[in-house]
Copies of this chain bind each other. A is one copy, B any other.
Amino acid sequence: MQQIQQLQNSINQYIANKRYGASPAELYDPIGYIMSLGGKRLRPCLLLMACDMFGGDVEQALAPALAIEVFHNFTLMHDDIMDKAPLRRGKPTVHEKWNANVAILSGDVMMVESNKLIMQVNDSILRPVLDVFNNTAVGVCEGQQIDMNFETRAIVGIDEYINMIRLKTAVLVGGALKMGALIGGATDSEGTLLYNFGEQLGIAFQLQDDILDVYGDPEKFGKQVGGDIISNKKTYLLIKALELAQGETLTQLNQWLAADDFDPAKKVEAVKSIYNQLGIRERAEAEMSQYAEKALQNFEKINLPDNRKTVLKEFADALLVREY
């Protein structure tokens, strides 16, 4: 069994050594660029851990693991165009550094590259692995579209929100784990248990992200604390607050949401105080714990000795106690 750090080193080295096409440069340079911006490489690590857990050869899983990371970065490249984001991990986004056309087309070819990489598995599991990959990819696209739709909708339900983050974030976590399991020799039903574990873990992770955006330690949180409040992002917290707030509290919340010209710090403070009044943090944490609990129930059903399950279990635990 390999420890997380070892797996992370392997995938980082594999990413650093990987060359995509060379010409035309406008098509391939952005791939090297976005892949070099770093990140925690969570998704490929999850694939490797799942493979290792079932006794598979981690070396053989590196190309499929990279496929997940290339696919993830393709979605980031296109999402950044759609969101008009100027920065990605503190560096100019591809459509800013080059232009939108380059970002569209480089993203397209990244998607093809990820398809080529995911195919580097044994013939016996090629079809099941590709089925997971394609279903995951469809889910991610649906999630992104639903997320964009939310921006122009006045009311979004909690169930709709959970479904959106499931699609946009969690199916890829589940998919990476299931693909890793299949590569490692797991049966389809073992793979499905791990998929469910990952999907629910992913939802819990995203709910935690929503919480940290408001309540995270500014010293440790990578992004601006309160960013979601400033931009009226429909997170679990805001949706729940709109559901629970009444009378004067609701009026105040709606005023802040409608405000065009405001002091960001004051808006964050005011909305946070409404959240506190309504006990939103506790509710969000309870919801998050529920998904973490469901995730673990699936994980426990996987019939492997505990010592094989430790690495992934510890990784999942660590994911959900971060303060950043």
Q: Are B104 and A24 in contact (CB under 8 A)?
A: no
Asked if A149 is at the interface (CB within 8 A of a chain B CB), the reply is yes
Asked if A116 is at the interface (CB within 8 A of a chain B CB), the reply is yes
Asked if A257 is at the interface (CB within 8 A of a chain B CB), the reply is no
Asked if A322 is at the interface (CB within 8 A of a chain B CB), the reply is no
Please report the C-alpha to C-alpha distance between residue A105 and residue B102 in the assembled complex, in whole angstroms. Answer: 15
Asked if A137 is at the interface (CB within 8 A of a chain B CB), the reply is yes
Please report the C-alpha to C-alpha distance between residue A101 and residue B100 in the assembled complex, in whole angstroms. Answer: 11
Query: Which residues of A in the span 115-161 have a Cβ within 8 Å of any Cβ on B?
Result: 115-116, 119, 123, 126-127, 130-131, 134, 137-138, 141-142, 144-146, 148-149
Please report the C-alpha to C-alpha distance between residue A46 and residue B303 in the assembled complex, in whole angstroms. Answer: 50
Which of A106-114, A234-242, A246-254, A280-288 lies at the interface with chain B?
A: A106-114
Q: Are B126 and A112 in contact (CB under 8 A)?
A: no
Asked if A92 is at the interface (CB within 8 A of a chain B CB), the reply is no
Residues of B contacting A104 in the complex (Cβ-Cβ under 8 angstroms): 78, 81-82, 104
Residues of B contacting A82 in the complex (Cβ-Cβ under 8 angstroms): 101, 104-105
Q: A138-B21, A145-B27, A149-B24 are in contact. Are A108 and B105 (CB under 8 A)?
A: no
Among candidates B24, B131, B141, B146, residue contacting A146 with C-beta atoms closer than 8 Å: B24
Please report the C-alpha to C-alpha distance between residue A183 and residue B107 in the assembled complex, in whole angstroms. Answer: 29
Q: Are A112 and B138 in contact (CB under 8 A)?
A: yes
Please report the C-alpha to C-alpha distance between residue A26 and residue B150 in the assembled complex, in whole angstroms. Answer: 12
Q: A24-B146, A119-B130 are in contact. Are A109 and B138 (CB under 8 A)?
A: yes
Residues of B contacting A141 in the complex (Cβ-Cβ under 8 angstroms): 27, 105, 108-109, 112
Among candidates B113, B126, B142, residue contacting A127 with C-beta atoms closer than 8 Å: B126
Please report the C-alpha to C-alpha distance between residue A138 and residue B24 in the assembled complex, in whole angstroms. Answer: 11
Residues of B contacting A109 in the complex (Cβ-Cβ under 8 angstroms): 137-138, 141-142
Please report the C-alpha to C-alpha distance between residue A137 and residue B109 in the assembled complex, in whole angstroms. Answer: 8
Q: A127-B119, A130-B119, A142-B21 are in contact. Are A148 and B101 (CB under 8 A)?
A: yes
Q: List 13 A-B contacts (CB under 8 A).
A: A23-B142, A26-B145, A27-B145, A78-B105, A104-B104, A105-B145, A109-B138, A112-B134, A115-B137, A116-B134, A119-B127, A119-B131, A123-B127
Nearest 9 pairs of A and B residues by beta carbon: A109-B141, A27-B145, A82-B101, A112-B137, A24-B145, A116-B134, A24-B146, A112-B138, A108-B141
